[in-house]
Structure 1
Amino acid sequence: MKRKLAWIFTCSDEIGQGLVEYALIMILVSVIAVTILGEIGDIVKDFFGIADYLSP
């Protein structure tokens, strides 16, 4: 029981990496992915804006 409580307090998984660190890394990756997708969306929007401008 003492070992289980220590695991809960240190928040570490089987390989020793902290779950908090893992969560922060996942949040960072998510923010980067959303930023990249937003930039791609802006490029596509600009492309269709140019296509609408050039169409008769």
Structure 2
Amino acid sequence: MGAVAQASGVKTLVLSHLAPADSSEGRWRRAQKGYSGRAVVGKDLMWLGAGSPVSAGKAR
């Protein structure tokens, strides 16, 4: 995923809904491999605002 995001010029890579539900740090690092920009790992009930800057918080 990271290499595709890098080649596409993605400003912020958001990783979410990866199955099975594995929160190991190594898995997320592998998904980001090849990407040098900002990366956000989604969590349950997290929301992300569109636009700049990226904001994140708990759902209300």
Q: Please indicate the TM-score interval, normalised by the length of the shorter structure.
A: under 0.3
The structure showing larger relative contact order (alpha-carbon pairs under 8 Å, at least 6 residues apart) is 2
TM-score where L is the length of structure 2: 0.18
Give 1 or 2 for the bigger CA radius of gyration. Answer: 1
- Greater helix content: 1
